[in-house]
Structure 1
Amino acid sequence: MSNLKDSNDNDESRSGGIQVIARASAVMRALGRNPQGLSLAAIAQDVGLARSTVQRIVAALETEQMVEAMRPGNGFRLGPALAQLIHQTHTDIISIARKSLETLCDHLQESVTLSCISGKHTVVIDRVIAERELRVVFPMGQSLPMYATADGKALLSTLTDEQVREWLGDRLDPLTDATHDIESLLVELAQIRANGFALDHQEHTVGISACAILIPTFMGPHAVAVVAPTSRFQIRSFEFKQALKECKESIAKLAGGN
């Protein structure tokens, strides 16, 4: 009888632990989908849990720096510890690509990023910020919608159209007036597969545009993007593409991709 009771207690403890992990993961995914931050009430609505439960989970995650509070009253967002974990996971690729990213940034005087697929989102795992007055500072470690960013679309181009529909569904939430719907996205993905470049013309953020190129590596596909104010991007897009090609060749020689 005692052994049976101990077994039941262990099963219940294991089940409770799994539930806590699942709920914490759901909270972090909700914040990943909303890099601008969410209030406790908004998180609770997104994940379908009581606000008091979400508050306890967020407090525990905040202690571990997996989430962080924004300005008072502005809710919570993913914290620095998550970006650090992602960085450590991809440290070999980051160390290989870092010099090429710095060279690209110095040459163009624009911010550049290195991204990969995480789940069904794009995550920036490294960046070099341009040293100029008007520049773009991209978030590290936050999940971004693949359909509305240049690096995300470059990574999506590695999938078939059927896989893209399965991942994204038939309706894409518009972030700006320029955001694609699923049909126009599939048309552009075919163009990216043909010419190797993905563009973001203010599809994620008004006033910001980007150009990205796919980088095959021994750890799977990555993407390098040049991100700039749209006013400069419009007159330098050809220059960006040429510089990205050189950056790809530099990284590919060391990263073992085909």
Structure 2
Amino acid sequence: MSTSDLGLNQPKGQRNEMRMIARAAAVLRAIAESGTALSLGQLAKKTDLPRATVQRLVGALEAERFVITDATMPGVRLGSEVARLAALAHQDPRAVCKPWIQWLSDKINESVDLTVLQGDSAIVIDQVLTPHPFKIVTHIGTALPVHCTASGKAHLSQMSIDLAARILDKPLLAHTENTITDKEILLSLVGTDPSADRCTDNEEYVSGVVAVALPIRGLPSGNYAIAVSMARQSFLNRRLQIADALTTARGSIERSLGLDENA
């Protein structure tokens, strides 16, 4: 771990702020992991912090409703704000994803889609369109086939083999001469490392259009993916840049949702 990771290269005031946030997070984690209310003394022991520091942190957290105390029920418990924020993050991933798909579109100047698996299709539920005139346009609500789109392949990588086999157990339409219709090749995506090299639509859905996608891993509320679509030549000229930006955006989304980005 570098000194920058510890904030040691930051001005003293910023280091103090970072330390305070880390200590507040330690208090919240200690309560959450205990599964019950904890006294100030118990919190001090679990967090290895002075009791006076814990008391100040609890007071600040209680003011923001992250913890609650009640004279009739001794101890410190998690407050309503923790549950509210957790519910928002997991019920509507679009709210968390939106700033990052906007960042991704701005970074590479291409259109970005957010999709969710519904039935046997990848449904576009949000998007950011690049302002340049040669953009690739889909529409919110569009149902994309799983077997020949980058989003679909990202969804396949996160499925069980049984579900993928059921979805692919039908005639697969060849949209272009590049469309993969071999079910065994598509099933080989299941359970693989969901890298941008694997989740690519190489003119398989629309001639002249390439797309790259990554799944958002570990969301209990559904199978989600983000995808970048662009003209073939644009992809060939900037393949590594696009893959790196997509990976960065996916990692930021997963961290924002409290997911394990290495899942």
Tell me, yes or no, whether TM beats 0.5: yes
2:224 is matched with which residue? 222
Give yes or no for contact 1:97–1:251 (8 Å, CA) kept in 2.
yes
- For residues 122-142 of structure 1, give each alpha carbon's deviation from its aligned partner in whole angstroms, at most 9, with x where no partner exists: 001000001102111112102
State the Cα distance separating 1:160 from its structure 2 match: 3.3
1:134 is matched with which residue? 134
Q: Which has the higher helix share?
A: 1
- What letter is aligned with 2:195? G
Do structure 1's residue 165 and structure 2's residue 165 form an aligned pair? Answer: yes
1:253 is matched with which residue? 255
Give yes or no for contact 2:194–2:214 (8 Å, CA) kept in 1.
no
2:207 is matched with which residue? 206
Higher alpha-carbon Rg: 2
- For residues 148-184 of structure 1, give each alpha carbon's deviation from its aligned partner in whole angstroms, at most 9, with x where no partner exists: 1101110011123343222121531111111112122
d(CA) in 2 for partners of 1:257 and 1:221? 13
- For residues 27-77 of structure 1, give each alpha carbon's deviation from its aligned partner in whole angstroms, at most 9, with x where no partner exists: xxxxxxxxxxxxxxxxxxxxxxxxxxxxxxxxxxxxxxxxxxxxxxxxxxx
Give yes or no for contact 2:157–2:194 (8 Å, CA) kept in 1.
no
State the Cα distance separating 1:208 from its structure 2 match: 0.7
Percent identity of paired positions between Structure 1 and Structure 2 = 29
1:213 match: secondary structure: strand
Give yes or no for contact 1:218–1:257 (8 Å, CA) kept in 2.
no
User: 1:1-258 maps to which residues of 2 (within 5 A)?
Assistant: 92-169=92-169, 171-181=171-181, 182-187=183-188, 189=189, 193-197=192-196, 198-216=199-217, 217-258=219-260
2:200 match: secondary structure: strand
- What letter is aligned with 2:201? D
- What letter is aligned with 2:95? S
Give yes or no for contact 2:208–2:232 (8 Å, CA) kept in 1.
yes
1:193 match: secondary structure: coil
Unaligned runs of 5+ in 1: 1-89
Unaligned runs of 5+ in 2: 1-89
- What letter is aligned with 1:194? D
Aligned residues: 167
Give yes or no for contact 1:112–1:129 (8 Å, CA) kept in 2.
yes
TM-score by length of 1: 0.61
1:70 is matched with which residue? none
d(CA) in 2 for partners of 1:219 and 1:255? 12
Give yes or no for contact 1:211–1:237 (8 Å, CA) kept in 2.
no
d(CA) in 2 for partners of 1:163 and 1:221? 12
RMSD of the TM alignment (CA)? Answer: 1.9
d(CA) in 2 for partners of 1:164 and 1:242? 28
State the Cα distance separating 1:228 from its structure 2 match: 0.3
Give yes or no for contact 1:101–1:128 (8 Å, CA) kept in 2.
yes
